[in-house]
Every structure is written in structure tokens, then in C-alpha cells.
Amino acid sequence: MTTLAIPAPASGQEERSTGRVPGNKGIWVGICCEFVEFLVLFVVYFVARAHFPDAFEEGAERLSRISGTAITLLMVTSSFFIACSVTSMRAGQQRRSLYFLIAGLLVALGYPVAKVLEIQWNLAHGINGESGIFFTVYYYLTFNHFVHAVWGILGILWVLARHLAGGYSSEDYGGLEALASYWHATDIIWLIIFPFFYVLV
């Protein structure tokens, strides 16, 4: 039975990575803007929920928890593979890093597919943006997350192209780290959205 092991950093890599911010300044400006954007949206969510508690409780019961759970698993799994890609590159294992990145891309591509299927299910059950305040907020928040996730998938494709061209090494992998940082941030936001809408904590 084979196991999936995360490679340990090569000698000296751990020391070089300690105390520095992964990726680059540009990506962290983008991540901060993303967090601020969703912070505003979450404020809107809580204001709407405070004014229409019954609508939010009833609305959550109508959503497909299977779809929400599937999207959560896709996001978390793709983040894991991308993290493994970065760790492998730090250890000087370029080929292993490439395989993990491809795996992350394939799993990430399942997200838009799952989201489209969920929307089709919603519409078939009469759930659209005009079905009430809960669904208006739901569609606005999840659509914004969908846009950020698509940007992330495009970023994976760009980093993959550079990876295939030999653009990264154990000494220079800032672009790969920047991608991982953005994708993890987008993953974290979904992990907040999921309980707010599908579980209603």
C-alpha cells in the first residue's frame, strides 16, 4: 500500500524560508483587497440575517448541502496538492512539484463544474436571485467567490506553463508560492461561506 508523503525541505531550505513572507508583495496586496471585499460582504450578510432571521433559516434548508460539501472538498483537496507542489519545489524535486501542481489544477477544475451543476439544481428547484433576501445575498457572495476562484484557476494555468518551461527551481519559486498563497486565501473564504449558507451557524 502506497502513501502520499509530503517531502521534507532540502538542507538549508528551511533556514532560507524562515522569517519571510511567501510569494511577493503584489500578491499580498491582492489578497488583502480580496479579504477587505469579502469582509464588506460578510457585514452585509450579518445585517441582512439580523433583519430577516426566518428567511435565512428557511433558505439554508433549501440549498443542496451535497453541492456545498462537494465544493468544499474540491477546494481543500486542490489547496493540499498545491501546497505539496510548493514543498516539493523547496526540496528540489521539480518533477514531483509538477505532478502535484497538475493534480491541484485537475481538482480545482472540478469547482466550476460543481458550481454550474449546483446552479442548475437551484434553478430547477425554483431558487434564483429573486427568491428572497437570503438567496440574493447567497448568489452575490458565492458569485464573487466564483470569480476569484476562476482567477485562481487561470493563475494555476500560468504557473503550470512556467513550471513546464523550467521557470522555477529550489532557489527561485516565488511565483509558485504567490499562486499557493492566493489559492489558500480563496479556500479560506469558502470555508467561511460554507457554514454561513449551507449549515447556517
Structural domains in the chain (count):
1
Query: Tens of pLDDT along 111-150?
Result: 999 999 999 999 998 888 778 899 999 999 999 999 999 9
pLDDT of the residue at 1: 47
Find the CATH number of the domain harbouring 51.
1.20.120.80
Among 131, 162, 123, which Cα is nearest to 52's?
131
Global pTM reads: 0.84
Q: Which domain holds residue 124?
A: 22-199
pLDDT of the residue at 112: 95
pLDDT of the residue at 86: 94
Q: How many whole angstroms separate alpha carbon 61 and alpha carbon 65?
A: 9
Cβ distance 168 to 95 under 8 Å?
A: no
Mean pLDDT across the chain: 88
pLDDT of the residue at 5: 53
Query: Tens of pLDDT along 142-196?
Result: 999 999 999 999 999 999 999 999 888 888 888 999 999 999 999 999 999 999 9
Q: Does 17 reside within a domain? A: no
Percent of the chain surpassing pLDDT 70: 89
How far from each other are the two terminal CA atoms of the chain, in whole angstroms?
Answer: 39
